[in-house]
């Protein structure tokens, strides 16, 4: 090699090194700028909050903070044909380029040089996504900025995510942004199954959304759609027959409202979520639609000031499958959620009084009780029809919603103990402001509770006495059960069996109730303000409230007349039962009449006196063990002594709701505990008066 050739080779290497160094410097500079000035996805992430049904369909959408309908859309959520048209018309090499299409850029430059203007632009879908993120303009500097941002996006995100940015932010006229919002607003459907004409319209609108929006300029929208179709025909993307058929499709001239189902529930859930969240509820759209249809059919028969609410719950999962918080928003009080309103429940709490009585008072559905005028202290309840039935079975007293027997049982339980039992399973009663504590009028509706809480209790009745919180989200519904026991499965079975024989409202055959195995109860609050009906089938619990949002009276509106018919119509409209009726629990005491019961269970004598008679002996009180006592279990099989003072013999002792198997019923008694833990003790005297204590048994340290 000559010296001249060597110098020339060194020169080439030097120039190559300089070029590589410059390239590395440029790349480093670009990387540094990319790190210092990353693309902002703030607009893309500031989306409309969506409340969805259990399958992911929209129940209700909410405006963004800047007043836009901006619904997230991605390639998987839109029609494949629409995506093909979009790429073919806007960016044929989208899947190949790195944000900038050099062929389109060269073509645009040549056209500008020859014609002095841009004939066809070089903007790629990635550049448009960059412009939509930054909100930039259309000048040369803005184009350079979009090109730089487009390269950044391509380096940072996959193609589908870049498409999702465009599909979510593209303008479609007014405050509609994104293909999903546009499809719902103009076509009333999700963008997964667009026709060719609809897809072409969605391709055309973002280029000039205000001038072409079909609800303002129908002809301009049609011309823009047809231009897209003609262009793609000329490019060989579409055939003539398909284009001709697409041109025959009508262009929508009206803008539709976005979905607005379960609006009150959706609003409450959205208020607790982060902006832009997608909240998947447990609502079944089919059930929800049926509730809306039934309510619309019922509305003409209600005065304008009245409303109604319906809640449908799946017993096993506690999932809320249907929720109607009220009638139309334009009715008086229409924006109030009837499911949350605290109202007097009338007689709808009675089944739970009976259930707890079956567990703790040593009574049975066949036990006899007197329905006659009685005084409980100074309180003298009367039946709804002002009549009395004499001696009846407890099952019949519940079935016909007799007031005196319910108050008598609550008196035996203790109103505070009853309210406490409900509170322990998550349902708190709202007492009147003047009340010093729970009292006997609870049995007849002298307390406040919401439809949601009533349905919570009844769903537990349909789940063997296990009460759990209502589950409004589908994820919660799939995560299993965590209920707390309010009553035993035996007591829940007794109550359900009694309520299955409730008299059907006028116009409904009892056979219809038997077909679904529905047990239901009605209730009417003081002054005919609120009409209730709550029903339980093996699979579902349905609650219905009818009343006025302002709580004013509705003359002669009872649960049986106003709410029960609607309840049974809801059951008729529900999907088929997925569970069979529970078999009788093995522990239940089978009896065909009161004569088959142990003598101590044959009759319940209330802690009351017949009106006009003098009070009798003092009520019973458990002298030992005292309430709250902690007792040691020294040896297995060692008895625990029991003693009662007051009351009238014979006494019936119950341990955790089970009668002690003894032959005599005197003031002193004993029982052998199973082991350490909490024990509920109760004693009932001859007159049906009861006393209760709760003690804790611990193992004695050795």
Residue positions annotated with a catalytic role: 90, 347
Tokens at 448, concatenated = 């406040």
Helices 403-413 and 415-424, axial angle in degrees (round to 10): 80
DSSP codes, 577-594: PSSPPPPPPTTS---SSG
3-state DSSP helix/strand/coil % of the chain, to nearest 5: 40, 15, 45
By the 8 A CB rule, do 133 and 39 touch? yes
The CA distance from 595 to 420, in Å, is 34
DSSP codes, 73-89: --GGGS-HHHHHHHHHH
Q: CB atoms < 10 A from the CB of 390, how many?
A: 7
The CA distance from 30 to 695, in Å, is 76
In angstroms, what CA-CA distances link 520 with 483, 544, 547, 548, 668?
A: 22, 11, 19, 23, 42
Q: Where are the beta strands (DSSP E) in 503-588?
A: 519-524, 530-536, 540-547
The CA distance from 585 to 112, in Å, is 87
Distance of CA 215 to the CA centre of its chain: 35
Tokens at 227, concatenated = 């231009």
By the 8 A CB rule, do 16 and 24 touch? no
Q: Where are the beta strands (DSSP E) in 151-284?
A: 176-177, 278-280
Tokens at 308, concatenated = 């109604």
Tokens at 668, concatenated = 């002193």
Burial 622-655 (b: 16+ CB within 10 A, else e): beebeeeeebebeeeeeebebebebbbeebbbbb
The CA distance from 657 to 687, in Å, is 19
Give, rounded to a whole angstrom, the gap between the first and last alpha carbons of the chain.
Answer: 104
């Amino acid at each position: 090699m000559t010296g001249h050739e060597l110098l020339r080779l060194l020169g080439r290497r030097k120039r190559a090194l300089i070029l590589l160094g410059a390239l590395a410097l440029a790349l480093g500079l670009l990387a540094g700028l990319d790190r210092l000035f990353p693309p902002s996805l703030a607009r893309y992430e500031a989306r409309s909050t969506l409340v969805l049904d259990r399958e992911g369909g929209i129940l209700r959408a909410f405006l963004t903070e800047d007043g836009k309908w901006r619904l997230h859309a991605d390639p998987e959520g839109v029609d494949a044909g629409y995506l093909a048209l979009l790429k073919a018309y806007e960016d044929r090499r989208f899947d190949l380029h790195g944000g900038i299409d050099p062929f389109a850029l060269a073509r645009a430059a040549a056209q500008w040089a020859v014609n002095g203007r841009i004939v066809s632009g070089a903007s790629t879908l990635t550049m448009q996504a960059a412009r939509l993120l930054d909100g930039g303009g259309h000048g040369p500097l803005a184009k350079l900025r979009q090109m730089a941002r487009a390269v950044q996006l391509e380096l940072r995100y996959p193609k589908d995510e870049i498409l999702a940015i465009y599909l979510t932010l593209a303008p479609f006229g007014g405050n509609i942004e994104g293909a999903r919002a546009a499809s719902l607003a103009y076509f009333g459907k999700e963008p997964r199954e667009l026709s060719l004409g609809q897809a072409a319209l969605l391709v055309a609108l973002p280029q000039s959304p205000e001038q072409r929006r079909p609800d303002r300029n129908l002809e301009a929208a049609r011309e823009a759609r047809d231009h897209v179709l003609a262009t793609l025909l000329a490019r060989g993307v579409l055939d003539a027959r398909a284009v001709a058929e697409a041109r025959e499709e009508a262009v929508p001239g009206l803008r539709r409202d976005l979905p607005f189902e379960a609006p009150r529930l959706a609003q409450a859930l959205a208020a607790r979520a982060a902006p832009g969240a997608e909240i998947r509820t447990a609502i079944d759209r089919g059930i929800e639609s049926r509730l809306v249809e039934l309510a619309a059919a019922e509305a003409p028969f209600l005065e304008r000031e009245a409303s109604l609410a319906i809640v449908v719950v799946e017993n096993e999962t506690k999932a809320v499958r249907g929720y109607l918080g009220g009638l139309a928003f334009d009715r008086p009080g229409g924006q109030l959620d009837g499911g949350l309103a605290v109202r007097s429940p009338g007689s709808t709490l009675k089944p739970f009084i009976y259930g707890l009585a079956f567990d703790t008072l040593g009574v049975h559905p066949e036990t006899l009780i007197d329905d006659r005028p009685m005084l409980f202290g100074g309180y003298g309840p009367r039946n709804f029809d002002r009549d009395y039935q004499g001696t009846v079975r407890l099952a019949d007293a519940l079935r016909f919603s007799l007031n005196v027997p319910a108050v008598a049982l609550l008196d035996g339980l203790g109103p505070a103990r009853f309210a406490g039992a409900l509170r322990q399973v998550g349902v708190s009663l709202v007492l009147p402001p003047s009340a010093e504590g729970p009292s006997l009028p609870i049995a007849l509706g002298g307390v406040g509770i919401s439809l949601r809480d009533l349905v919570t209790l009844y769903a537990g009745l349909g789940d063997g006495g296990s009460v759990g919180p209502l589950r409004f989200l589908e994820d919660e519904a799939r995560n299993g059960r965590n209920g707390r026991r309010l009553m035993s499965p035996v007591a829940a079975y007794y109550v359900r069996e009694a309520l299955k024989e409730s008299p059907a409202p006028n116009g409904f055959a009892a056979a219809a109730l038997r077909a679904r195995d529905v047990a239901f109860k009605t209730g009417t609050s003081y002054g005919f303000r609120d009409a209730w009906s709550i029903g339980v089938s093996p699979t579902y619990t349905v609650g219905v409230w009818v009343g006025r949002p302002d709580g004013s009276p509705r003359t002669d509106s009872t649960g049986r007349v106003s709410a029960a018919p609607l309840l049974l119509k809801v059951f008729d409209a529900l999907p088929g039962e997925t569970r069979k009726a529970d078999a009788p629990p093995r522990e239940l005491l089978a009896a065909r009449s009161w004569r088959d019961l142990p003598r101590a269970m044959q009759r319940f004598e209330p802690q009351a006196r017949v009106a006009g008679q003098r009070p009798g002996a003092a009520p019973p009180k458990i002298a030992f063990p005292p309430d709250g006592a902690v007792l040691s279990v020294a040896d297995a099989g060692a008895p625990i002594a029991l003693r009662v003072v007051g009351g009238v013999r014979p006494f019936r002792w119950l341990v955790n709701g089970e009668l002690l198997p003894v032959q005599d019923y005197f003031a002193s008694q004993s029982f052998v505990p199973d082991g350490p833990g909490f024990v509920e003790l109760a004693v009932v005297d001859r007159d049906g008066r009861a006393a209760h204590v709760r003690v804790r048994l611990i193992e004695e340290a050795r």
